[in-house]
């Protein structure tokens, strides 16, 4: 039998899932996953990404549906999605993106109570045999390194 060690997963396994909404918590504190906060929007790195640079763009309001945002909030949210894609293109040079919303548990929403867009950079060959046959993702860059590479660009959005 072969063993694959993944000690970073213990954080997820032992994580207290009852500490409230991760997005609302991100608004209240500084951490090494939150890249940007504004009055109506925020950008947070996915703690358990599909690929490097997997970002979550959310409204500051704790809502679960698009129709709960006014037109200005919707525009701010989509503008931040666009700006985030631009930063990822500049810094990480992906070949494409998957961008979307998972609305409802059945649609794959892990945090269905707080609306958020997923932005997943994609590269040719980023899905390999390890993913297909062993259901294992290889994330080549540590989250902190990705954060450090992206954060200066999100800081410029504040101006």
Question: How many helices (H) does the chain have, and how many strands (E)?
Answer: 5, 5
User: Which is catalytic among the residues 54, 62, 114, 116?
Assistant: 116
Q: CB under 8 Å to 37, separation ≥6 — which residues?
A: 26, 27, 60
Say which DSSP state 157 is in: G
Active site residue 116: yes
Q: In Å, what is the CA distance from 61 to each residue of 22, 77, 116, 119?
A: 12, 11, 11, 19
Q: Which residues are part of the catalytic machinery? A: 116
């Amino acid at each position: 039998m072969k063993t694959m060690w993944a000690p970073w997963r213990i954080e997820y396994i032992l994580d207290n899932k009852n500490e409230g909404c991760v997005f609302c918590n991100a608004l209240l504190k500084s951490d090494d996953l939150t890249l940007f906060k504004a009055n109506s929007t925020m950008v947070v790195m996915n703690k358990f990404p599909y690929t490097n640079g997997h970002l979550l763009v959310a409204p500051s309001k704790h809502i679960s549906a698009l129709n709960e945002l006014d037109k200005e909030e919707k525009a701010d949210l989509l503008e931040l999605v666009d700006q985030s894609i631009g930063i990822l293109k500049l810094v990480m040079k992906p070949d494409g993106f998957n961008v979307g919303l998972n609305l409802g548990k059945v649609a794959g929403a892990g945090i269905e109570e707080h609306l958020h867009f997923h932005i997943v950079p994609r590269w040719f060959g980023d899905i390999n045999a390890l993913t297909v046959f062993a259901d294992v993702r290889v994330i080549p860059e540590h989250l902190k390194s990705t954060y450090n590479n992206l954060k200066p660009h999100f800081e410029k959005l504040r101006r």
